[in-house]
Amino acid sequence: MFKLSGGQTRNIKLTLAYDGTHYHGFQRQKNALTIQQVVEERLAKLFGHELKINGSGRTDTGVHAYGQAVNFYTGGTVPTCRIPIAAKGLLPPDIVIIDAEDVPREFHARFWAKSKIYRYRLLNQPLLNPFERNYAWHFPEKLDWQLMQEAAQLIAGTHDFSAFRATGSVPVNPVRTILAVECRRRRETIIEFEFWGTGFLYHMVRNLVGTLVEVGRTRMTVDEFSAILAGRDRKAAGITAPPQGLYLVEVKY
């Protein structure tokens, strides 16, 4: 825990929404601008001391969030209910605190998280809409979203997701539990995937989407998708979908 100079320590949980277009992800880095750095620096002005926020997890460069959860400790006296409004004038317009609450001292945004929901957006039309270029993967070829929905249902459950982990990522247990998956069409040109799970591997959602698109192109059958999941070979799966279509929707506790 970050050591404060004095006063009673409060543990505060924030829910952040942000447009990740102009940031190198959530987690602080030495030579790149990140969401964590900006939030820490701006909130330090509000609370009158340096602080460190704990995120529920990192998001990559260009990835967005509707509901990223963080917590931090403070001895500052700003009322919790006033934090979203008070921070509005300090944070850039592409980062917003949408909720603040007091939580137990032991609460940690990462370790207490029970599950997360991610959404991925595809713009499926011949020409790029310039207003969607930073918020969806533009895929010009026609896709059969119902085939993708059929394949996506195979993801639900507890599986070894080695076929969909990032190449060269830090070795961790590849077994994850996905509670629900949905593929739906929003308007004629937008296809959305939604993944609700208790945990995700690095790039797992983007690798799943990249492979499901191969099903939608009819270059891969649903049975072949099932075989890739069971086979646990990353080389057999599809590409990593680009980051701008990915959103962290909600962290559940």
pTM to 2 decimal places: 0.94
User: pLDDT-based confidence at 2, cuts 50/70/90?
Assistant: very low
User: pLDDT-based confidence at 134, cuts 50/70/90?
Assistant: very high
81-110 pLDDT per residue, tens: 999 999 999 999 999 999 999 999 999 999
60 carries an active-site annotation: yes
Percent over 90 (pLDDT), the chain: 93
CA distances from 76 to 10, 22, 208 (A): 8, 30, 43
142-174 pLDDT per residue, tens: 999 999 999 999 999 999 999 999 987 778 999
User: pLDDT-based confidence at 4, cuts 50/70/90?
Assistant: very low
User: pLDDT-based confidence at 8, cuts 50/70/90?
Assistant: low
pLDDT at 1 over 60: no
Q: 37 with 28: CB under 8 angstroms? A: yes
What whole-number distance in Å separates Cα of residue 8 and Cα of residue 245? 42
Query: Of 19, 60, 144, 223, which is the active-site residue?
Result: 60
